[in-house]
Amino acid sequence: MILHMSPTDSYLVFDVETTGLNPRTDRIIQVGLCKVCDGVVTERSGWLVNQNVEVPPEARMVHGITTADIRARGIPPHESLTRLLGVLSTAPSCVGHNIHRFDILFLIAECRRLGTPVPEFGHFVDTAALYKGWKLKMERRSDETFKKYADRVLETRAPGLKFSLATCLTFLGIQTATAQLHQAGDDAFLTHLLFEALKKVVPADSSAVQTHV
């Protein structure tokens, strides 16, 4: 499966919440989506995933999701993966925050566990990399996929420069009162707001935010 990209006014933002930080041992337990058409949010959705695991206390403290929640309202992992990959494969472009170092790693691990072919994620736009690249004045090269750009930017040492979603939103003056951080659906919506703000401050001719391929 090849997941295509197109102009930045129409795109899908996705986010996941998990039982921990290690894709090899932890699991996706919540998925959030935010669909944007011509710069306008047209749909926000999400679901819980009933993995056959317990949600550790340290994870519950971050996102508030309990084992009882995923047992009562979660859908099976295979159904969740099929639904998510189907949505991603039909999106004009895909965006997420720190996705190349977190969400996509969990998605790849889920594909491998469930015997599903791993899609190509190289052209997914990472707003964490866009923000840090903007702060460091690092533009994407014409021969770089968004993953390669994200890897180069995020691996660049920049002591003191933070780029969590909350930090980026605060720096750019984006209000979060109507959304709750660390809830996948809300994080996807907030990432959309961040992406729109970044498009206004990154030079219009910069390849960093151009998603044509």
Burial per residue of 50-68, b for 16 or more beta-carbon CB atoms within 10 angstroms, e otherwise: bbeeebeeebeeebebebe
CA nearest neighbour of 28 among 117, 99, 129, 127: 99
Q: Mapping DSSP to helix (H, G, I), strand (E, B) and coil, where does residue 40 land?
A: strand
Enter the DSSP assignment of 126: E
Q: Domain ranges for the chain, please list them.
A: 11-201
Residue 195 to residues 16, 41, 95, Cα–Cα distance (Å): 17, 13, 8
What is the homologous superfamily of the domain 11-201 according to CATH? Ribonuclease H-like superfamily/Ribonuclease H (3.30.420.10)
pTM of the predicted structure, to 2 decimals: 0.92
Tokens at 151, concatenated: 């890897």
pLDDT at 127: 96
Tell which phi-psi region holds residue 165, choosing left (phi > 0), alpha (psi between -120 and 50) or beta. Answer: alpha
Averages of pLDDT over each 10 residues, the chain, 213 residues: 53 98 97 96 97 96 96 98 97 96 98 96 95 95 93 97 96 87 94 94 65 49
pLDDT at 210: 65
pLDDT at 177: 78
pLDDT at 204: 53
Give the span between the Cα atoms of 128 and 145, in whole angstroms: 15
